[in-house]
Amino acid sequence: MTIVHLATDTVSLVLDARSGGLPTVVHWGAPLGRPSEPELAALADAVVGPTSPSTPDEPVPLAVLPEPAAGYRGRPGLRGHRTGRAGLPSFRLTDLRVGASSVEITAEDAFVALHLVITLDLTPSGVLRLRAGVANHGDEPYTLDALEPALPVPAQATELLDLTGHWTRERHPQRRRFDLGTWARESRRGRTGHDATLALLAGTAGFGFRHGEVWGLHVAWSGNHVTYAERMPEGTATLGGGELLAPGEVILAPGEEYASPWLYGVYSGRGVDGLSAAFHRWLRDRPGHPATPRPVVLNTWEAVYFDHDLTRLRSLADVAARIGVERFVLDDGWFRHRRDDTAGLGDWFVDETVWPDGLAPLVSHVTGLGMRFGIWVEPEMVNEDSDLYRAHPDWVLARGDGTLPPRARHQQVLDLNVPEAYAFVLERLDALLRDNDIAFVKWDHNRDLPGAAAHRQTLAVYRLLDELRTRHPSVEIESCSSGGARVDLEILARTDRVWTSDSNDALERQTIQRWTGLLLPPELMGAHIGPPTVHSSGRTQSLSFRYATALFGHFGLEWDVTSADEPDLEAVALGIAYYRRVRGLLHTGEVVRADHPDPAAHVHGVVSDDRSSALFAYVQLTTSERAVPAAMRIPGLDPDRRYRATPVAPVGEPMTLGRRAPSPPRVLTGRMLAEVGLRPPLLTPEQAWLVELEAEG
């Protein structure tokens, strides 16, 4: 078979392998139905463009691994050399294995002595997975500088969207024209990064959440990485990416091989929400995806910080259990010498001066109240003021001459490729989980990595997580990295949720969660109610707004609830009960984000798979140029069914301006709700209005 067609109901991928070289992508986009092989061959011939002056005499193919030796003048898919001798690989196809939904391409270049395997897999949800592997079949080492597969996008993709940010402001969108040249997003932070883009999107002009064609690419790697979009004057446009390798970071000895990170590509014919739906379905179809209802969490960080007093923590647990919390997580400060963030990292023994009887008195108290117990760790880091560093300064990532990199958050990085360091961390974490009834680990990572250590350190962290999951399969793990700095699909292959951001500011969280949802469904995003005055921003926000923001994630609290007054505690208890009632919908349904005309407000919600129920929020972010709010149009419902729309206020009514009687339930068709909508109240800034929708009949 020389023309390959992989397809789902939402996307088609057509590969042309007739040339004998690396296959080219004829089409990645809208579904093509069930064409015959002759029809596919005719399509492949029809899309070959003419040659232009000052270019090769024959049209230049764009392979899934772009090749300069074939005449392509864009970004090469493979870059490397043998002791300074470049040698442009020109791969010849040696095998093509086609399955029902996958293709494995094997190719060789005998002169450069490289063996290449490219795997493509189109999942039922429409997510295309792509990776490349290269092996050194020569007699000398081969220095690999880059291995970056790519996928073409058509000429109608004229706009780009990606995400950027910083600590407590992760994942904010930015848009630009998809002009000639290369737009590359490179991360050299040694972790995914607060400023990393979850995906790079190319789309038709003006594409939005609910309209337009969109092509998106995600690099599943937790270390240094690159994602790029490139348009050439010759007419080709590509999305590509891979690991961003430092000079000399990967040198393949004879017989050694390297595999690129998985690239995840999605085409959507119905805007950004279609892309998100494909990613969400793929994640939910994984065997290891959390299958139990996501428990209500209370994390102690902003409640007690480093003040680990057993009596105080028991009181906090008592109140948490009374209002319906299901998981109690003890944050930083439980181990030796850890009274602030300047000391103790690496000394992973329960501090006898604070916990003379170990953690057992608190753990048994928490579990006796019917909650599960969780704990914070940061095993990849070490303080210079620690017993571990004083005993083993050679276990720290440093320059070859021993020079330490600049401290960050008073920390250095523990080199997990030192066998003794890896064994120590594994033994300490294993003992912690073995000796205590711990159901959840908040795994933090609070600094960027130095220099050219990211590749091997990232692989070592994966090995460590894999081994712990094997030994303790029932323990859930959260990826926390100064909040949301390690969010990617490869770390999520080993963890059960991410801490979306260190910001519990509900206003900031509205945008952070909205765009984290580009890739992740709500149940994988930790979202907590913080205290009335926000630690990270100083804003004071109402309980109803904080609640409505946290509701659309994996819900929890980051708040000293012993300091709350009784009316607030009663309201939170009602809110927790409501979350527990609707989490089945929120964590299985389809995320919907309306293209609302007023930038001062967001409209978003979740619709059940059978479209029988939904929960939506109208969120007033700031003051609007409109004196009266625009209608809240609600897409995603069955257009022909009738829905009872009922405003709900689980923790209390939002603050409003003007006069308006409480909204009664309305019964409207899904088409009416999508095309006309409901008129929300005139909310003050930083308020949200929640509406339940239930189909009648």
CA distance 32 to 29: 9
Q: Quick check: is 57 catalytic? A: no
In one-letter notation, the amino acid at residue 680 is: P
pLDDT at 59: 81
Dihedral of CA atoms 492, 493, 496, 500 in degrees, nearest 10, equals 0
CA–CA distance, 344 with 379 (Å, rounded to integer): 11
For residue range 315-345, what is the model confidence (pLDDT) as tens digits?
999 999 999 999 999 999 999 999 999 999 9
Kindly list the domain boundaries of the chain, sorted by start residue: 3-285, 297-379+422-446+468-581, 591-695
Res 435: pLDDT: 97
pLDDT band at residue 663 under the 50/70/90 scheme = confident
Tokens of 641: 């069914």
Q: Known catalytic residue: 502?
A: yes
| Token pair 């910083």 in the structure block, residue | 166
More reliable by pLDDT, 451 or 666: 666
Residue 662 is predicted with a pLDDT of 59
Band (pLDDT 50/70/90 cuts) for residue 660 is: low
**pLDDT tens by residue, 394-446:** 999 998 888 899 999 999 999 999 999 999 999 999 999 999 999 999 999 99
Catalytic: which of 331, 444, 505, 560?
444
d(CA 432, CA 213): 49
Active-site residue identified among 331, 502, 505, 560: 502
Which pLDDT tens digit goes with each residue over 294-319?
999 999 999 999 999 999 999 999 99
Q: What is the pTM of this model?
A: 0.97
| Tokens coding 687 | 């308020």
Asked if 525 and 553 touch (Cβ cutoff 8 Å), the reply is yes
In the block, tokens 């001062």 appear at 600
pLDDT band per the 50, 70, 90 thresholds, residue 658:
confident
Q: Answer yes or no: are the C-beta atoms of 673 and 634 closer than 8 Å.
A: yes
- Which positions ≥6 away from 275 have C-beta within 8 Å? 199, 201, 214, 216, 266, 267, 268, 518
Q: Which CATH class is domain 3-285?
A: mainly beta
Q: pLDDT at position 61, please?
A: 84
- For the stretch 102-141, pLDDT in tens is 999 999 999 999 999 999 999 999 999 999 999 999 999 9
21 pLDDT above the threshold of 90: yes
Confidence of residue 1 (pLDDT cuts 50, 70, 90): low
The two tokens of residue 334 are 């439980």
Architecture of the domain spanning 297-379+422-446+468-581: Alpha-Beta Barrel (3.20)
Of 113, 223, 169, the residue nearest 483 (C-alpha): 169
Mean pLDDT of all residues belonging to the chain? 96
Over the stretch 502-544, which tens digit does the pLDDT of each residue have?
999 999 999 999 999 999 999 999 999 999 999 999 999 999 9
Tell me the CATH class for 591-695. mainly beta
